[in-house]
Structure 1
């Protein structure tokens, strides 16, 4: 069966957005899923020294914002973006080239829930990555109104049991002793802990708050493959001050590409 060529016109119709001050120019679908705060925070979880120890895997990368932010922040980092949707993979490749990162960032189009032949053909083996990152869709199918755009729906929704698939793939690709991290809605914490159980130890939970005194909106849950270390909870990461502006240490992350302060990061 002949494989259809990707629709390159998506590049021309996409918007161009700036990340990390003006360090990254990223094209994203105008009406589809749009990466933003969460992707930057997850990328900032890694400090440059850790990112330089081996390749970083961005699972379900979309247009590549998490992995590109890692590469832009960490000059010694090598990054692999894995994305299922052909249109998003096209944009991810364009974004890699647009930012001059072809020597350190590559894109593989593959479905993590199915055969990983595309990974094998690219010479990518299991247990290869010391760091594996994931920013999965936040909504379960059937529990929210599906987006009118199929691409947007695919990026926003996942099957109820799909989080286990993501954790299984992250475990498979991480080196023994490798570190994984996932950002998600705070309400998903019990499910994340459930799918991490038996796969990762040394679990760290970083709760993220829009402002002090409000409920947590996100969590970054990290773990170590094969570890038996106990779970711990990081100090609260608060994004905004009383005037709604980013707090200075968060401003440094979003505008200047800083890593999260050590008390929060990986």
Structure 2
């Protein structure tokens, strides 16, 4: 298996699926996508939408772990959507290709435009997202493809979560990963659309500040918010080895289930 010099083919979940990604530019999928996928837990057939899917890492990770998943990878960038299609065409992903498809569309589309793009109302049981996370005041990368994937705009969470609420069945689950600084915006965007929020802070090591939050919520739920016990990436202060549970989440051996 080989790739052109402008791209790489990378193994995830210890080789259970592979991803075609741009080399030396653009957003390269990693642990964030794998942790996002771990938030999905279901038995039997279900429909999964990965909003802002990039090359398809999180959506394919969910499908690789859960045989009942039928995944739709939603990506605005024509170039990254093409990488997702290349990923699905890999022989090593043949066990996933019949259960996944790519929709090239802007997540922020509304109404008839969104439906025409292939995102109909009340269609998905799970919606996952890893929205752009760099604040407008952050230093911008000269890499245009990476900047598009990372640059946050005003009202981003409101727009993305609005779309998630529209395309999800009642009682469906929203899952996302974000920076801790975005918690207030996420809660506000969920509003009356989603309830039962469960927020888990992710810490590099004990005593350090959180670098991410994992958030799940249920469409139409009126349950109150719950702040869960934190996850710590590394148990040993002097080691880069992941803790056993985080390593299982990262490699598709476990789900991070709602309480």
Normalising to structure 2: TM-score of the pair? 0.90
Who is 2:51 aligned against? Answer: 59
Taking a change above 3 Å as real, the CA distance of residues 194 and 91 of structure 1, as seen in their structure-2 partners, is same
CA distance in 1, matches of 2:114, 2:159: 16
Q: Does 1:154 align with 2:148?
A: yes
Give the distance between the partners of 1:124 and 1:112, measured in 2 at CA: 9
Q: 1:118 to 1:93 in 2, by over 3 A?
A: farther
**2-structure distance, mates of 1:59, 1:237:** 24
The number of aligned residues is: 251
Paired residues for 1:96-135 under 5 Å: 96-98=88-90, 99-100=93-94, 101-114=96-109, 120-121=115-116, 124-135=119-130
Picking from 87, 90, 94, the partner of 2:86 is 94
Aligned to 1:76: 68
CA distance in 1, matches of 2:117, 2:69: 19
Residue 170 (structure 2) pairs with residue 179 (structure 1): no
Counterpart of 2:138 (choices 132, 140, 144) is 144
Deviates more, 1:111-120 or 1:221-230: 111-120
Aligned-residue offset at 1:13: 1.3
Contact 2:119 2:167 survives alignment (8 Å): no
- The alpha carbon displacement at 1:134 in A equals 0.4
Q: What's the CA shift string for 1:161-216, capped at 9, x where partnerless? A: 22211111111111111110110011111111111122111111111111122111
Residues 209/178 of structure 1: CA separation in 2 closer, same or farther (3 Å cut): same
Cα distance in 2 for partners of 1:133, 1:205 equals 14
User: Are residues 118 and 15 of structure 1, via their aligned partners in 2, closer, same or farther at CA, if it must alter by over 3 Å?
Assistant: farther
CA-based RMSD: 2.0
Quote the offset at 1:83 in angstroms: 0.4
Whether contact under 8 Å (1:109, 1:118) holds in the other structure is no
- Following the alignment from structure 1 to structure 2, what is the Cα–Cα distance between the partners of residues 192 and 161? 10
Cα separation, 1, equivalents of 2:185 and 2:13: 31
Q: Aligned residue for 2:18?
A: 25
Alignment partners' CA distance in 2, 1:68 and 1:90: 15
Q: Which runs of 5+ in 1 are unaligned?
A: 1-9
In 2, Cα distance between equivalents of 1:19 and 1:116 = 36
Unaligned runs of 5+ in 2: none
1:39 and 1:199 mapped to 2: Cα distance?
A: 24
Q: Which runs of 4+ in 1 moved over 4 A?
A: 115-119, 121-124
Please state how far the C-alpha of 1:116 moved relative to its aligned partner: 6.6
TM-score (structure 1 length as normaliser): 0.88
